Amino acid sequence: MLLKIGLLGGGSWGTTVASLISRNCPTTIWARDEATVRDINKHHRNEKYLPGLTLHQDLKASHSLQETLKNADVVVVGIPSQNCRSVMEEAKSFIRPWVPIVSLTKGLEQGTKMRMTEIIESIYPQHPVGVLTGPNLAKEVLQGQAAAAVIAMVDTNISNALQQVFRTGLFRVYTNDDVIGCELAGALKNVIAIAVGMGDGAGAGDNTRSAVITRGLAELTRLGIAMGGKPATFAGLAGMGDLIATCISPLSRNRYVGVQLGKGRTIQDIIAEMSMVAEGVKTCGVVAELANLYNIEMPITQEVNKVINEAVTARVAFRGLLSTKTGSEADPG
């Protein structure tokens, strides 16, 4: 029996995943924007977020949560982090008991500092909850270029079953039982990508980029392990893999924000012109708070937070990084 999938969120990655899994299972995607729903149903496109790219012809769209979820055997959530809670509460009466819920969102909730799976579990305590993550740039995946992802669930039987839902052609899906590590890696790397972009925008070279990526990986690994993630996760697809893709690709929203900051623009001007969410902008302040809470030194994160939330310029932030004292590579900082 084919599983029926209900996917929440009509952005670029949610639409891409919906298009992929519609090859394997009957899939309905929910979007709040009625124009997006019409575009998907009538033209098999989402021109707002994925211009010029064609979606799978079997994918259906709806602006009704009830229609999308009432028969769903699996629910996939691609809602921006700061809206996840409200949408999941709104959807509660339509999701059947025990249905697995998989998050696609790489962010942390402001205020509560919660991961998306923690939010979902608090609203749906009886449901198995997991995350799909990895180095997955939506446009490349939708164009059919080879990519790999990780489905992380505590229950390996469920993750093995879901592996078959998400895996298609050149999109390879691995399993992992470290939900905390996989989810944190996806959220934290966006902050490092902003830092790398800031360097690129300011004219820094490949040596600088390599140093920021490497030291950034050390930062997110330290915090991730302190919060319960497994060390190996941060060296895998969810950690290093996703970090590299997000830090070097011109398709990366978070890197783009950093590049524009490095050129001297304000965060307000950059965000005002973007149609898509760069999760690192909202997440960096939360990560800085977590670093203080767990007493973890994260100098790159702290400097990004100053630029985003304290009006420090990217040039001043980089000077701050360069003045940070160096010790053994194995030491924090």
Catalytic residues: 189
Among 145, 131, 134, which residue's Cα sits nearest to residue 77?
Answer: 131
Beginning with the edge strand found earlier in the chain, give each strand of the sheet holding 60-62 in spatial order.
Answer: 60-62, 27-30, 5-8, 74-77, 101-103, 129-133, 147-152, 171-176
What amino acid occupies position 1? M
Q: Quick one: tokens of 261?
A: 């900051």
Angle, vertex CA 96, rays to CA 94 and CA 102, nearest 5: 90
Cβ of 311: how many Cβ atoms within 10 Å? 10
Q: Which residues contact 240 (CB under 8 A, 6 or more apart)?
A: 217, 234
Q: Which residues contact 23 (CB under 8 A, 6 or more apart)?
A: 56, 58, 168, 169
* DSSP string for 107-119: -B-TTT--BHHHH
Rounded alpha-carbon distances, angstroms, from residue 284 to 167, 192, 278: 31, 9, 11
Among 57, 58, 56, 67, which residue's Cα sits nearest to residue 6?
Answer: 67
Among 155, 149, 112, 110, which residue's Cα sits nearest to residue 130?
Answer: 155
Kindly tell me the burial class for residue 187, based on how many C-beta atoms sit within 10 Å of its own C-beta (0-12, 13-18, 19 or more).
Answer: buried
Q: Quick one: tokens of 140?
A: 């490349």
Q: Quick one: tokens of 130?
A: 């997991």
